[in-house]
């Protein structure tokens, strides 16, 4: 008990700070990934001259390990683009880069799952293609895509532990720092694993409840 008090309880503020940073990184990364993924999906489906570029982007994001992307964004992008200039930005940018490729395919599957007849009916009433996509296609596609979107968010949460290697002070970074101070890896890393399990299970349960509620209300 003395070890747990010294290594965990006395450093509860550091663990809490790490959880907050992890949440910030994951939320920003996922929102950016959704925006980029939707744009790439629409380019692939409706912009024939740039379709090859969208496919190349998707394959790059999905085929490259997240660790490689993290190193690439953190060390190469500043030299090429002058951004990111902070480790925090590099962390969420790398996570968003990989997830956007998967989300682009998720959006494509959802949009293609909507009956073509509904699109034709909307266009026949005078709606523009943009309004048809916004009011008719996307709402139905999002309903069917909700489980996949939520699953991808959980993937982002679990992958976020890698941002600790570039000194982003997330939960894993705090755990490794405390381990190097106290040399008690069993207690500290086991508690960290428990926190990740707790976070993932809580998010999974909340997302399942929300998904079931959406299906009950709109399906």
Q: Which residues contact 135 (CB under 8 A, 6 or more apart)?
A: 122, 127
Helix H segments across 47-170? 51-63, 66-75, 77-81, 87-112, 116-124, 129-132, 138-159
CA distance 108 to 99: 14
Residue 89 tokens read as 């930005």
Give CA separation, 100 vs 60, 105, 155, 208, in Å: 11, 9, 12, 22
According to CATH, the superfamily of the domain at 2-218 is MetI-like (1.10.3720.10)
State the 10-residue block means of pLDDT for the chain, 219 residues long: 84 96 98 96 94 96 95 96 96 97 94 84 82 84 87 96 96 96 92 96 91 74
User: How high is the pLDDT of residue 124?
Assistant: 84
Domain ranges within the chain, ordered by starting residue? 2-218
Q: Which residues contact 124 (CB under 8 A, 6 or more apart)?
A: none
Q: Which residues contact 132 (CB under 8 A, 6 or more apart)?
A: 119, 122, 123
- Residue pointed to by tokens 């925090």: 88
pTM strictly above 0.75 = yes
User: How high is the pLDDT of residue 219?
Assistant: 58
């Amino acid at each position: 008990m003395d070890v747990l008090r010294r290594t965990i309880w006395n450093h509860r503020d550091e663990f809490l700070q790490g959880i907050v940073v992890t949440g910030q990184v994951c939320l920003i990364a996922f929102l950016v990934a959704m925006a980029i993924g939707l744009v790439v999906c629409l380019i692939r489906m409706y912009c024939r001259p740039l379709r090859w570029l969208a496919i190349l982007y998707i394959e790059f994001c999905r085929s490259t390990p997240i660790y490689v992307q993290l190193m690439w964004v953190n060390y190469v992008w500043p030299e090429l683009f002058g951004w990111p200039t902070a480790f925090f930005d590099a962390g969420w940018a790398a996570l968003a880069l990989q997830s956007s490729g998967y989300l682009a395919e998720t959006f494509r599957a959802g949009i293609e799952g909507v009956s073509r007849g509904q699109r034709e009916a909307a266009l026949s009433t005078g709606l523009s293609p943009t309004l048809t996509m916004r009011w008719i296609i996307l709402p139905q596609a999002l309903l069917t895509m909700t489980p996949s979107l939520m699953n991808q968010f959980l993937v982002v949460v679990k992958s976020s532990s890698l941002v600790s290697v570039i000194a982003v002070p997330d939960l894993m970074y705090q755990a490794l720092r405390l381990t190097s101070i106290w040399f008690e890896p069993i207690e500290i890393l086991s508690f960290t694993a428990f926190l990740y399990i707790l976070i993932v299970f809580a998010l999974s349960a909340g997302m399942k409840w929300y998904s079931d509620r959406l299906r009950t209300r709109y399906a």
